[in-house]
Amino acid sequence: MTTTTVPLPRRRRRNPNRPVWAEQPTVLGQTGKGAVLTLVVAAVVVPLWIIVVTSFSTQAATNRAGGMVIWPDGLTTAAYREMLGDPTVRTSLLVSLGITVVGTAVSMAVSILCAYGLSRSRSLGHRLILTLLVVTMFVSGGLIPTFLVVTGLGGYGRYWALILPSAVSVFNILVLRAFYSSTAADLIDAARIDGAGDWRTLWSVVLPTSRAVTAVITLFYAVSYWNAFFNVMLYMPTDSQKWPLQYVLLTYVNRGNGLPGSLNSGFGSAHAETAPLALQMAVVVLTLVPLLLAYPFMQKHFRTGVLTGAIKG
């Protein structure tokens, strides 16, 4: 009670991250830097904001704004209720989720096995197989021969045509392999000495230690399946019951809006008249939701994942 602590004079501390030899920033430099970075961030955030706000707006609000709504003004979830009542959107959402889940599972299984199989630098034939993989990164038959092979195998109108041709990404395999053969190498050796076979090593040693890179590669695959749109156009352009969400987005949003979306025949049957703006934007938001849900969990691993593969190639 008797001791009184004299508060130390509060002093503005220099930024602890600033190296001692670096000059103090000028006001002008600091402002310029801030302005550019704000602009960059705004270029991403503002359009997303406008789209989300519009999707929640009433018809009256979009009319008042003369189109997209920038500031909330008469919010409603009517667009979402209407959208989810539309059988085309509901089906396409299920199709998209199905393709994404099944495709990602197939891709990850195949890629992890292959990457592990190639990760031991002294195994028989790994060089040959690796060459076989890498060649496909530079030489390809191109669009038409691939189309002929897939349709020749009966892929036209089948879901597997959206999955199997793009199931293997050599780049992703190389990322995983680089990770397994450097970071996990010592652990693999230790597991072998303890008598674990290859399956056991992969399952109980390699996979648990490479969660970060596995997460990133999973995200890459999942995003590519979720975004797939051209394969649909190739292999099931007429069957609107089988369209995934991205394709429905194209018909919903770009119809009569400067981008008349009749990309090929049999395309325009699903939505002849233009949907209200809020409804269109609700579909846009729907394509974004799964990504924005997964993003925060994966985001911190990007650097590890990308760099492990990208630099070593």
Partner 1 sequence: MAGAAPTHTSDTPAAPAAEDRRTPRARRRKNREQGHPTLDWRTRLRRDKTLILMTLPAVALLLVFNYAPLVGLVTAFQYYDPLDGIRNSQWAGLAQFTALFHDPLFWGALKNTLVLSFVQLILFFPVPIALAVLLNSVLSERLRNLIQSIVYLPHFFSWVLTITIFQQMLGGAGVLNQALRSHSVGTWDIMTNPHTFALLVTGQAVWKEAGWGIIVFLAALAAIDPALYEAAAVDGSGPWRRMWHITLPGMRGVVVLMLVLRLGNALSVGFEQFLVQRVAVGHNAADVLDTFSFYYGIATDNYGYGAAAGLFKSVISLLLIWGANKLAHAFGEDGLYRR
225-254 residues in contact with partner 1 (CB under 8 A) are: 226-230, 233-234, 246-247, 249-250, 253-254
Q: What is the distance between the alpha carbons of residues 245 and 270, in angstroms, rounded to a whole number?
A: 13
Q: How far is the CB of 193 from partner 1 (least distance, A)?
A: 14
Question: Residue 168: which H helix or E strand, with range?
Answer: none
- Residue 18 binds partner 1 (CB under 8 A): yes
The residues in 172-231 that bind partner 1, with binding defined as CB under 8 A, are: 173, 197-199, 202, 219, 223, 226-230
Number of residues this chain uses to bind partner 1 (CB under 8 A): 108
Q: How many CA atoms lie within 13 A of 136 on its CB side?
A: 13
Neighbours of 232 (CB within 10 A): 21
Cα–Cα distance, 186 to 176 (Å, whole number): 16
CB of 241 to partner 1, least distance (A): 19
- Which residue's CB is nearer to partner 1, number 4 or number 160? 160
Q: In 10 A of CB 182, how many CB atoms?
A: 12
Report the site for partner 1 in 21-60 (rule: CB under 8 A). Answer: 21-23, 33, 36-37, 40-41, 43-45, 47-48, 50-51, 54
Exactly one of 167, 187, 207, 270 binds partner 1 (CB under 8 A); which one? 167
Please give the residues from 102 up to 121 whose contact with partner 1 meets the rule CB under 8 A: 109-111, 113-114, 116-118, 120-121
Strand runs labelled E in 58-129:
none
Nearer to partner 1, 78 or 263 (CB): 263
**C-alpha dist (Å) from residue 36 to 31, 32, 33:** 9, 6, 5
The two tokens of residue 60 are: 């009256």
